[in-house]
Amino acid sequence: MIKCKPGEKANKTGLALIDFGDTIFSWTVADIAIAMAYALLCSKGKALLEQNKPNLQCALALLEGYREAGGPLLPEETELLQTLMCARLAMSVTYGAYSYACDPGNEYLLLHAQPAWASLERLWAVPEEEFLGLAEAALAK
């Protein structure tokens, strides 16, 4: 959350809170992967998409923060992160396309479609070993 008065520059320091297990019982790794998938679309994402790179910086920072907060992640779960992130982005763009087909006048439904598709394509193209190394490094910091 970033709060500022109109006309003032925003303080770049923000606070984020992710409450695991608050509304459903699920696998924590899935919750982390979903948050990481949407972190690919953070504000720095557009420039990185233009460079044809996935925005892993924000996603890995989220993973590092989870670890710093004491969250455990098994090696088997770490290996699933990239696939689960891709699955979430695929669900998001599919649901967005379906919703837009049902309401073609609602341009809002397309707001994150292009960056989500681009992030999905670029994340899927990252070799598994490379992604796993980056994730393991974030968890080891």
Domain boundary assignment for the chain: 28-140
What percentage of residues in the chain have a pLDDT greater than 90? Answer: 45
Q: What is the mean pLDDT of residues 110-119?
A: 84
Query: How large is the C-alpha radius of gyration of the chain?
Result: 16
Residue 20 predicted with pLDDT over 50: yes
pLDDT of amino acid 118: 86
pTM of the entire predicted model:
0.79
Per residue in 39-97, pLDDT tens? 888 755 454 555 555 578 889 988 998 898 888 899 999 999 999 999 999 999 999 99
